Structure 1
Amino acid sequence: MVGSRSAFEPEQAPCGKTVGGDCYRDTDGEGLVVYDLFYSCGCRRSRHEYHDGTVTTQAIRHGRRHKLISDEHSEHPV
């Protein structure tokens, strides 16, 4: 797996600021997809799709303690 990194246009970060940053995307071609956003303010968002169809998403606000503000896990699809 070789991922790609690119810049993205300003959008609302988990802290509420409108900033740009870098996007990292990687896939293995068999169902695994990693999609991470790294905002210039220090916030992060991630979406990981796994081979079994489950998905996890997280949003982390920047700051001294990097507060996790969203953490969701989907169930295995039927």
Structure 2
Amino acid sequence: MDKKLTLSLDQEVIDEAKVYAKTHGTSLSKLVENYLETLTIKGKEVNTIETTPLVESLCGIIELPDSFDYKSEIRDYLSEKYK
């Protein structure tokens, strides 16, 4: 059930949030609702997928530099694959 909520925010923040919501195809109300939902769900137990010992043993095995751009690597790989 939807309820009305009144907030006092800086006008510049409101204006920027409206632009953000519009460019992402949502309303400001939905944006705030989703944000508050993510904050409140952190305290609740979330069902997660259990990882196998194999996956856990592989976690962190590869160290990449901070400058590594995985999007660029994916793009290059796909460009080569579909040449």
Q: Same fold (TM over 0.5)?
A: no
More strand by share: 1
Q: TM-score range by the shorter chain?
A: under 0.3
TM-score (normalizing by structure 2): 0.22
Q: Which has the higher contact order (CA 8 A, sep 6+)?
A: 1
More helix as a share of residues: 2
Bigger Cα Rg: 2
